[in-house]
Amino acid sequence: MKDNKITTVDADNLRESIIKTLAVIARINEKEINDSILIKDELGIDSIMSLEIIANIEKRYNIQINEEDTMNITTVGEFIDYVIHIINKK
């Protein structure tokens, strides 16, 4: 098992950080964002915004996200879980 698996504390920090990123790009108060919020329909994230979010997260966590993998992700929670999965796979 690799050492870079993220802990519960890390996961909480990561969750908070991703929500902050989404809030800034969607121009919405981060308190209004929770795991069940729909990224496209409720946050109004369009294709250019999603590129910005992905690039931000890739930079911060030194990972690569396959854009096609994210096509079927609908909620904030699913997106966070996906990022955790990618970090754990590193």
Partner 1 sequence: MLKKYGIRKGFIAALFLNNSIDFISIFFALIEIGATPIPVNMAFRAIELDEIFSNADPHAVITEKDHLKVIMKYLSGRIVVERNGGNFLMRDSGAGGFGRGPAEVDHSIATINYTYRGYGYPLGAMVPHIQYLFGSELLQEAVRLDAGERLLVVLPMPHIFTLIGCIFLPLIYGITPVISRSRNPLRLFETVHAYQIQNILAVPELYELLYKFRDSAGDCTPLNAFLSGGSVMPDEMYGRLVDEFDVDLIHGYGLTEFTPVSRNIRGDIRPGTIGMVCDGLEYKIDPCDEFGFGEILIRTENMTKAYYRRSAESRDVFQNGWFRTGDIGRVEDGHLIFKREKKKTRKVKGNMVDLLEVQRILMEYPKMRNAIIECNDSILSAAVEIDSARNFDSEVLSIKKFLEDRIAGYKIPKIFSRI
- Residue ranges binding partner 1 (CB under 8 A): 38, 40-42, 44, 46-48, 51-52, 54-55, 58-59, 65, 67
Our CA angle for 83, 36, 45, nearest 5°, is 70
Side-chain half-sphere of 70: how many Cα atoms within 13 Å?
Answer: 23
Helices (H), the chain: 8-26, 47-61, 76-89
For residue 63, give the 3-state DSSP assignment: coil
Nearer Cβ to partner 1 (60/85): 60
| Shortest distance (Å) from residue 8 CB to partner 1 | 29
Give me the least distance between CB of 12 and partner 1, in Å please: 26
1 vs 48, which CB is nearer to partner 1? 48
Smaller CB separation from partner 1, 5 or 24: 24
